[in-house]
Structure 1
Amino acid sequence: MAGDKVNILLVDDQPAKLLSYEVILGELGETLVTASSAREALEHLLKSDFAVVLIDVCMPELDGFELAAMIREHPRFEQTAIIFVSAIMMTDLDRLRGYAAGAVDYVPVPVVPEVLRAKVRVFAELHRKTRQLERLNDELERRVAERTAELEASNARLIDSERRRTLALAAGRMGSWDWDIAAGEMTWDEGQHRIFGTFPLGFKPTPQSAWHFVHPDDRPHLEAFIEHALRDATPFDVEVRIRLLSGETRWIMISAAPTFDGEGRPQRLSGVILDITTRKTAEEELQRLNEDLEHRIEERTREREEALAKLFEAQKLDTIGQLTGGVAHDFNNLLMAILGSLELMRKRTPEDSPISRLIENATRGAERGRTLTQRLLAFARRQELKPEAVDLKGLILGMEELLKRALGPVITVDRQIPDGLAPARVDANQLELSLLNLALNARDAMPNGGTLTIRAASETVSGQDGRDGLAPGEYLRICVHDTGLGMDEATLARATEPFFTTKGLGKGTGLGLSMVHGLAAQSGGKLVLSSRAGEGTTVNLWLPRAEPAAASPRPQASTAAAPNFQERRTVLLVDDDPLVLSGTSAMLEDLGHEVIESESGQSALAILSEGRPVDLVITDHAMPGMTGVDLARRIRQSRPDLAIVLATGYAEIPADSGEDASDIAKLAKPYRLEELAAAIDAAWRARAEIRAAV
């Protein structure tokens, strides 16, 4: 048998019939798989690839029609050949129902072995040729250049898809025949008559009458195949043309096999035919439209690759964001212990001591780590933002001196900010930091000087626009353009990746653009980069538009009273990290407070239930078992007057914390001694105001 084996699935609830099918089809040399129920058949189909499925019509649970419909509904089995076997008389309505369910033919019981083998062989050979064609396409891909390989592979897949579709349509136009050589008689089934345009009651098939249908030019070709099959006892497949009585010419594929008696004399020649006129027409049309086809394949491949690249990039950035957010959280806890300990050491060390300078260096290094975690959190979209209506023109003009110092005298700043521009809804401090990062990147891209242009404009994105993947709405677009070196395609594709930098070892963290990207995404906007080597870089920062009322160029300084550091209080400190717990406890004691330590929310509740005097609770938020917000809610139920400070390494506090968390003072890790004191004082004042209002 040519080629490798294919799988054939036999479905019947009667073991004896399954055994008979195995005996009949065993001569094909293919892999036969049996199933005694529709459920077992579906299990086999989901595990393996099958060329033909032979289904009994009458079965318990699911009959053959229902099973065929379920098979056809699955995308994998749209092209799988399904043949029904029925031991009862099938009406025309039953046959139409079967064809509608996806069957290509019926085989009545008792089964004629030669007919069944011939029908199954056709689809097995078609399936095998399809697989061989796919393997040849794979081999071709490896031998040609990448672009040519992609085009030819896509072309082959499209051609194969069209061929499968054509064959599937033609499969319903299938017929079987049997030629009794010794008696000189021939029988046709309904499908055979349908293809040849004859009627069973008005036309009696004979070898001579059948031969007249064959196109004269194809008769020698078909005769050679028949002689070879009868001489060497081999089956054959051949494509020939036939001429109908109406004068129409059709293409058919004949698949046949001979049967011999005990002395080796040929007795019968049985087979099936398949009307392949549609496929032949499609092949000719495909040949004429080849150039247009290649263009469509290239365009479709490019679109698919772009879509996959965008999906992969989004998934990659989301995964890295989750990782960096977690790393920043743990790093903040470490910095918390380091900064707290350094501050206490500095207070206990004389200023003229050599150790004081070392402490100062260590503190600066920890502060740099603090800045790094803020950039990580910005990229991971875990930073705590305070969005408000921001006047972009006022903010950008207010950065004038800062930009001059950062860019130097060789770079000119051109601002194009119109009057009356609507405000943007964004965290003003983070936006200012983002613009500074973009300016510093532009400075590094213009070592010999140049121009940095900052523009801003109102934009409307509708559902039809789909610009840059933005949701429909009103936006402010800040455009930062430099005349620097620009980036090639490879660098541009990785520009917003965290830790990716072109500035050389030790000259950049690779988090500047990542931070801006995170701010834009967390604010409901988007960062869009465009650049070409030697032509500069353009950064478009899209931000949602805010209501114009109360717009301000930057956050206003707090007018709250200075914290009261002198009043001694009893503080319940809750943190699951021993280093943070120990360091913060030492800081509280340095501020003059009495500290009760607890390593979990449950432990803290137990301490409060004992009636121990506690004036204030400082709790970490991210703790196993019970979060800080959950602990605050439990405390409010029994001690509504108790002041609470919630410390967090990043903005993981849920937005639906509720009104019971609105008066809780927030403290961002890592914090300094004065920040801790200020948070305590703020929490105390908030509870005092609530008590006074009550």
Structure 2
Amino acid sequence: MAIKQSDKVNILLVDDQPAKLMSYEVILRDLDEHLLKANSAREALEHLLRHEVAVVLIDVCMPELDGFELAAMIREHPRFQDIAIIFVSAIQVADLDRLRGYQAGAVDYVPVPVVPEVLRAKVRIFAELFRKTRQLERLNAELELRVKERTAALEASNARLTDSEQRRTLAMAAGRMGSWDWDVASGICAWDEGQFRLYGLEPGAFVPNQESIAAFIHPDDRQLVHEASWAAVKAGQPLNTEFRIRHADGSWRWCVSIAAVSPDAGGGPTRLCGITYDVTERKNAEHALRTLNDDLERRIEERTREREHALAQLFEAQKMDTIGQLTGGMAHDFNNLLMAILGSLELMKKWLPPDDARILRLLDNARQAAERGSALTQRLLAFARRQELKPEAVDVSRLVGGIEDLLQRALGQSVRIAKSLPNDLPPVCVDANQLELALLNLAVNARDAMPVGGVLGVAAKTEEMEAKDGLRPGAYVRITVSDSGIGMDADTLARATEPFFTTKGPGKGTGLGLSMVHGLAAQSGGRLKLSSKPGKGTTIDLWLPRAEVILPTGEVVASLGGVMEGGTILPRSVLLVDDDTLVNIGTAAMLEDLGHNVVSAHSGAEALEIMRSGQHIDIVITDHAMPGMTGMELARHLRRMRPDMPIILASGFAELPQGPDEVLDLPRLAKPYRQEDLAASLLVVLGQSPTAPNVIPLWGR
């Protein structure tokens, strides 16, 4: 039925976006009402002041003033307190947003995208309500003029209508809200449809009273609700309580009830009227937030522990590097001292009368002590990763088989060796002598861990390793040495590879065995891993990089006897360069004993001055680690002066530059060396011997 022009009401549409205003106009055009449009809060207020408006549709998000602020301003004006305000929101609407809207004066929320039928239905209801209210007001005015005698009845009817309208407005203003009324004297409870909907109950199938309602309240909250309700009634104070109810579908829902006490004429309580709204989504969001916070705290704790672990590892690496530098430097200095001692003892033995057995015995004793010191420095260098390595392709199965008798003698008869070495095991790239020494050290440690005997396992297999713990990705051979001994606790295992750490008694161990093996693995491009438990024995895994091919290893043919008897070295003029005076004197004496003329220099600069002076020099032997100018730098200067000059580089370190430069292709004489090593190295650089003990070509490293 068409609406008369005079009965049409004004509907105000407020949105800062013209496109949305046009869409609302299209949707509401079928209502046949007056549509007023405003692009801002200021323009909306101007329409309200000029026109009588029944319904206001307000966008929540607008510049300058948002929808909540505009609604509050409308409600503050006495003329606009009864206008129906509907919020239109394009963002997700939470319960807190709804409550804020209702507190601002809204009667409903419409989410975007808008369902046209829903929006038309909601606006039609409030427009009809406004129209009916306006018609009723006109009718009331006419009735007041025409029928004075019905004034009292009309006022009573209007009061009942207002009371009913308040409850209906509450029900329609909240999608998840319901209103209720509790008569304190009779105990009768009245629910609206919204309250039944909250519980999931049908109005005709459930009679609300104190007992029936209590059955739906969570047992843990039942006493709380009972006490709060009666406390509000007795004190005449508002009720505000939160509790859980069991929905008809079996789920538990969180609700909040807010109510006020209505007193009678004497001031006593007559009833408690209030609303209940569902806050389950808010509680779930709070729970999710707490869970997220707990998870975040847990992850922060894990990250903190990881960071502390990484810092501890970094500190340990820095500590081990510092100790390595210290021990490497000490070993270098010891090598120089042992160099002078061994050289001097060797010459003294040659020059003393051979018939004095006591003096020769003392010299041999001193020489053996010096050689033991040399072995100790080699272990220090191995730990510091500065030892002289001669890596080559090594057949692990053949190497273990070659030293099996030596291992068995070191282990004793109470320990049995169990091998698991495949015949097709590929070769590894390692210094064969150092690997033999490493296996012997591990065997001795295993023997000490098995005082009553046991089994020493030696196994090997190939593995493809990813980049981890300092390893480069590639092919490796994993050598496993295990024992059935007493094992180690966690604290001992954590310190097992530290230098000088030992569980053996005083004088029974240097604490460098595992450190040397660890250093050998790292310097060879591999990795060492220990695992052990008390009473379960110890397992040591040693990863070594696989070699591409097996290189034939010839026997070392040069020795002091061979050099002196089979080799012929004409007297040469040797420039000896070493900053250590003791080493310089000792080496010069050995060279002079071999029949050579020695010119000594104590620095690279001094050596260059000698060369520039025109003095005849046939060969240069220079130390590498010297202040001011290293032996390698001196060699580069000498190559420019005398490209054909034979040069021998003497050093106690392995950390020397490598590369294709011909200056780097120098034979190296490892300290401490003996006279036979010195003689053999001269044969090598003069082209009279293919190789010599203790002489390492740099290009073969």
**TM-score normalised by the chain length of structure 2:** 0.57
Counterpart residue number, 2:447: 443
Native 8 Å contact 1:423 1:551 kept in 2:
no
Counterpart code for 1:517: H
Q: Which has the larger radius of gyration?
A: 2
Deviations 1:535-567 (A, max 9, x none): 0000000011111x3356xx5312469333653
Native 8 Å contact 1:196 1:244 kept in 2:
no
Q: CA deviation at 1:661?
A: 3.5
Native 8 Å contact 1:458 1:477 kept in 2:
yes
Counterpart residue number, 1:366: 370
Native 8 Å contact 2:683 2:689 kept in 1:
no
Counterpart residue number, 2:73: 203
- Assess, with a 3 A threshold, how the Cα gap between structure 1 residues 196 and 388 changes in structure 2: closer, same or farther: same
Counterpart residue number, 2:135: none
- Assess, with a 3 A threshold, how the Cα gap between structure 1 residues 279 and 581 changes in structure 2: closer, same or farther: farther
Provide the rounded CA distance (Å) in 2 between the counterparts of 1:517 and 1:584.
Answer: 33
Deviations 1:610-666 (A, max 9, x none): 11111211111111222112212221222223222111011132113722342x332
Counterpart residue number, 2:514: 513
Q: CA deviation at 1:291?
A: 7.7
Q: CA deviation at 1:292?
A: 6.4
Provide the rounded CA distance (Å) in 1 between the counterparts of 2:289 and 2:369.
Answer: 69
Counterpart code for 2:439: L
Please say if 1:403 is aligned against 2:407: yes
Native 8 Å contact 1:410 1:450 kept in 2:
yes
Out of 331, 343, 359, the residue aligned to residue 355 of structure 1 is 359
Please say if 1:659 is aligned against 2:675: no
Provide the rounded CA distance (Å) in 2 between the counterparts of 1:405 and 1:685.
Answer: 41
Provide the rounded CA distance (Å) in 2 between the counterparts of 1:400 and 1:437.
Answer: 13
Counterpart code for 1:243: R
Counterpart residue number, 2:322: 319
Counterpart code for 1:556: G
Provide the rounded CA distance (Å) in 1 between the counterparts of 2:348 and 2:283.
Answer: 89
Please say if 1:244 is aligned against 2:242: no
Out of 451, 458, 482, the residue aligned to residue 454 of structure 1 is 458
Deviations 1:41-61 (A, max 9, x none): xxxxxxxxxxxxxxxxxxxxx
Native 8 Å contact 2:481 2:540 kept in 1:
yes
Q: CA deviation at 1:600?
A: 1.1
Secondary structure at the aligned position of 1:409 is classed as coil
Deviations 1:396-425 (A, max 9, x none): 111111111111100000000011111111
Counterpart code for 2:672: P
Provide the rounded CA distance (Å) in 1 between the counterparts of 2:282 and 2:585.
Answer: 80
Provide the rounded CA distance (Å) in 2 between the counterparts of 1:335 and 1:605.
Answer: 28
Counterpart residue number, 1:580: 583
Native 8 Å contact 2:669 2:681 kept in 1:
yes
Structure-to-structure mapping, 1:56-95, within 5 angstroms: none
Please say if 1:570 is aligned against 2:440: no
For these two proteins, the number of residue pairs brought into alignment is 439
- Assess, with a 3 A threshold, how the Cα gap between structure 1 residues 526 and 609 changes in structure 2: closer, same or farther: same
Provide the rounded CA distance (Å) in 2 between the counterparts of 1:470 and 1:660.
Answer: 31
Q: Which moved more, 1:482-491 or 1:310-319?
A: 310-319
- Assess, with a 3 A threshold, how the Cα gap between structure 1 residues 505 and 248 changes in structure 2: closer, same or farther: farther
Out of 550, 554, 557, the residue aligned to residue 555 of structure 2 is 557
Contiguous gaps of at least 5 residues in structure 2: 1-15, 17-59, 80-97, 103-108, 110-173, 177-280, 692-701
Secondary structure at the aligned position of 1:243 is classed as helix
Provide the rounded CA distance (Å) in 1 between the counterparts of 2:305 and 2:401.
Answer: 43
- Assess, with a 3 A threshold, how the Cα gap between structure 1 residues 476 and 627 changes in structure 2: closer, same or farther: same
- Assess, with a 3 A threshold, how the Cα gap between structure 1 residues 448 and 589 changes in structure 2: closer, same or farther: same
Counterpart residue number, 1:682: 684
Native 8 Å contact 1:487 1:531 kept in 2:
yes
Counterpart residue number, 2:602: 599
- Assess, with a 3 A threshold, how the Cα gap between structure 1 residues 198 and 603 changes in structure 2: closer, same or farther: same
Q: CA deviation at 1:579?
A: 1.6
Counterpart code for 2:68: T
Q: CA deviation at 1:572?
A: 0.9
- Assess, with a 3 A threshold, how the Cα gap between structure 1 residues 207 and 653 changes in structure 2: closer, same or farther: farther
Structure-to-structure mapping, 1:139-150, within 5 angstroms: none
Native 8 Å contact 1:633 1:660 kept in 2:
yes
Secondary structure at the aligned position of 2:519 is classed as helix
Structure-to-structure mapping, 1:331-346, within 5 angstroms: 331-346=334-349
Q: CA deviation at 1:533?
A: 1.0
Secondary structure at the aligned position of 1:597 is classed as strand
Q: CA deviation at 1:471?
A: 2.5
Q: CA deviation at 1:609?
A: 1.5
Deviations 1:254-277 (A, max 9, x none): xxxxxxxxxxxxxxxxxxxxxxxx
Secondary structure at the aligned position of 1:592 is classed as coil
Please say if 1:616 is aligned against 2:631: no
Q: CA deviation at 1:353?
A: 4.6
- Assess, with a 3 A threshold, how the Cα gap between structure 1 residues 282 and 672 changes in structure 2: closer, same or farther: farther
Native 8 Å contact 2:624 2:630 kept in 1:
yes
Provide the rounded CA distance (Å) in 1 between the counterparts of 2:638 and 2:376.
Answer: 35
Q: CA deviation at 1:667?
A: 0.8
Counterpart code for 1:644: I
Provide the rounded CA distance (Å) in 1 between the counterparts of 2:690 and 2:416.
Answer: 53
Q: CA deviation at 1:295?
A: 6.2
Provide the rounded CA distance (Å) in 1 between the counterparts of 2:175 and 2:322.
Answer: 63
Native 8 Å contact 1:642 1:687 kept in 2:
no
Counterpart code for 2:550: A
Counterpart code for 2:328: G
Provide the rounded CA distance (Å) in 1 between the counterparts of 2:341 and 2:480.
Answer: 40
Structure-to-structure mapping, 1:370-385, within 5 angstroms: 370-385=374-389
Native 8 Å contact 1:391 1:551 kept in 2:
no
Q: CA deviation at 1:208?
A: 12
Out of 652, 672, 675, the residue aligned to residue 674 of structure 2 is 672
Contiguous gaps of at least 5 residues in structure 1: 1-91, 93-189, 210-240, 250-277, 690-694
Provide the rounded CA distance (Å) in 2 between the counterparts of 1:489 and 1:600.
Answer: 50
Native 8 Å contact 1:641 1:687 kept in 2:
no
Counterpart code for 2:543: W
Counterpart residue number, 2:236: none
Counterpart residue number, 2:494: 493
- Assess, with a 3 A threshold, how the Cα gap between structure 1 residues 195 and 679 changes in structure 2: closer, same or farther: farther
Native 8 Å contact 1:193 1:199 kept in 2:
no
Provide the rounded CA distance (Å) in 2 between the counterparts of 1:566 and 1:202.
Answer: 112
Counterpart residue number, 1:419: 423
Provide the rounded CA distance (Å) in 2 between the counterparts of 1:327 and 1:279.
Answer: 70
Please say if 1:628 is aligned against 2:485: no
Counterpart code for 1:599: H
Counterpart code for 1:373: T
Provide the rounded CA distance (Å) in 1 between the counterparts of 2:291 and 2:656.
Answer: 64
Q: CA deviation at 1:326?
A: 1.5
Provide the rounded CA distance (Å) in 2 between the counterparts of 1:195 and 1:533.
Answer: 74
Deviations 1:465-491 (A, max 9, x none): x4x553321110001010011111111
Native 8 Å contact 1:527 1:540 kept in 2:
yes
Please say if 1:479 is aligned against 2:483: no
CA RMSD for the aligned pairs?
Answer: 3.6
Secondary structure at the aligned position of 1:404 is classed as helix
Counterpart code for 2:351: R
Deviations 1:116-161 (A, max 9, x none): xxxxxxxxxxxxxxxxxxxxxxxxxxxxxxxxxxxxxxxxxxxxxx
Counterpart residue number, 1:388: 392
Secondary structure at the aligned position of 1:443 is classed as helix
Native 8 Å contact 1:451 1:483 kept in 2:
yes
**TM-score normalised by the chain length of structure 1:** 0.58
